[in-house]
Amino acid sequence: MNDWNARQYLKFEDERTRPPRDLLAQVPLRQVRMAVDLGCGPGNSTELLVERYPDATVIGLDSSKDMLRQARERLPRCEFIEADVATWTPEEPVGLLFANAVFQWVPDHPMTMRRMIERLPPGGVLAAQMPDNTREPSHVAMQEVASRGPWANAALAEAARVDLPSPDSYYDLLKPVCQRVEIWHTIYNHVVAGPQAITEWFKGSALRPFLSALDATAAADFLEAYTAEIARHYPVRFDGQTLLRFPRLFVVATR
Ligand SMILES: C[S@@+](CC[C@H](N)C(=O)[O-])C[C@H]1O[C@@H](n2cnc3c(N)ncnc32)[C@H](O)[C@@H]1O
């Protein structure tokens, strides 16, 4: 798949940074010595950690070179490392593992979360947020357009993210190795500039696997068909704006 594109991702920086703010607000740690931002992207979530824990060593980790380039430019005093969340293991004890909008991209991520929690020191925290929007029209439309256009093929059929597990199953897997596990959903209604903006939003995230499987002409046609579908489900409000309904799942696990 093509690399992530930091510029595309940051077109909606304010909206995308609200969930990590809400997640961090629920982290029950007054101080930490070391925090790692898993899937740090362009450093927007890492910056929140630096602001909350100014005395901590804050490290960002990501698998995308473009995201890491942007993050290093933004926070030159932080360390950023290129690694895969699925296999990375901290070399020393980390008090806070922060993972905003990354685990949904990691196959079998609940087991990765558990493996990471098992390596936390007592009282250490893993805080994660994942979009829980695979049943939203925005995502159903991706699959529908993928299955009906001239581009329909096996690669596109597998491009959609799978549903997240239920809150119960996270709890049952993580609680045996935690003092406390908090799980909740928040549904955001992001105000964006019409249906085209919803396409732009997902070009920076969930549409990437679909677009990577298409050549430039087919990708443009795919996006046109997708935007038409989006316009049917996300009407323009009286002021020209559109509300993007966006459910997200939060997990804060304390070792
Ligand atoms: C949706 S962005 C989240 C960025 C940032 N944390 C935020 O709060 O906005 C997801 C990031 O996870 C990274 N990513 C996806 N899969 C990964 C993996 N297996 N290992 C490390 N990083 C990964 C992507 O490169 C991307 O930068």
pLDDT at 1: 65
CB of 106 closer than 6 angstroms to any ligand 1 atom: yes
pLDDT at 159: 87
Give the C-alpha distances (Å, rounded to integers) separating 40 from 47, 56, 154, 236.
9, 16, 31, 33
Q: Which atom of ligand 1 is nearest to the CA of 3?
A: 25
Q: Output the pTM of the full model.
A: 0.95
Q: Whose CA is nearest to atom 13 of ligand 1?
A: 39
pLDDT at 82: 98
Can you give the pLDDT of all 255 residues of the chain as single tens digits?
677 888 888 899 999 999 999 999 999 999 999 999 999 999 999 999 999 999 999 999 999 999 999 999 999 999 999 999 999 998 889 999 999 999 999 999 999 999 999 999 999 999 999 999 999 999 999 999 999 888 888 778 888 889 999 999 999 999 999 999 999 999 999 999 999 999 999 999 999 999 999 999 999 999 999 999 999 999 999 999 999 999 999 999 999
Q: Which tokens hold the place of 153?
A: 């093929």
In one letter, which amino acid is 175?
K
Q: Check: CB of residue 105 under 8 Å from CB of residue 47.
A: no
Q: Coil, helix or strand for 215?
A: coil
Task: State the pairing for strand pair 96-100/180-192.
Answer: unpaired
Q: Which residues pair with 122 in a beta bridge?
A: none
Give the C-alpha distances (Å, rounded to integers) separating 54 from 31, 50, 74, 157, 228.
9, 5, 16, 45, 46
CB of 105 closer than 6 angstroms to any ligand 1 atom: yes
> Taking the CB of residue 13, how many other CB atoms lie within 10 A of it?
12
Query: What is the 8-class DSSP label of residue 175?
Result: G
Q: Which atom of ligand 1 is nearest to the CA of 16?
A: 9
pLDDT at 158: 83
Give the C-alpha distances (Å, rounded to integers) separating 167 from 12, 39, 85, 248.
28, 22, 21, 12
CB of 62 closer than 6 angstroms to any ligand 1 atom: yes
The runs of H, that is alpha helices, within the chain are 6-9, 13-25, 44-52, 65-74, 109-118, 137-148, 154-157, 167-174, 195-203, 208-212, 216-233
Rounded to whole angstroms, the Cα distance separating 64 from 87 reads 15
Rounded to whole angstroms, the Cα distance separating 175 from 235 reads 41
CB of 41 closer than 6 angstroms to any ligand 1 atom: yes
CB of 51 closer than 6 angstroms to any ligand 1 atom: no
Q: Which tokens hold the place of 91?
A: 């070399």
pLDDT at 10: 86
Kindly report the length of the chain: 255
Rounded to whole angstroms, the Cα distance separating 102 from 20 reads 11
Identify which of 66, 88, 102, 106 to mutate to test ligand 1's pocket (most ligand atoms within 8 A of the CB): 102
Q: Check: CB of residue 209 under 8 Å from CB of residue 164.
A: no
- Name the strands in the sheet holding 180-192, side by side, starting at the edge strand that comes first in the sequence: 79-82, 57-62, 34-38, 96-100, 125-131, 242-254, 180-192
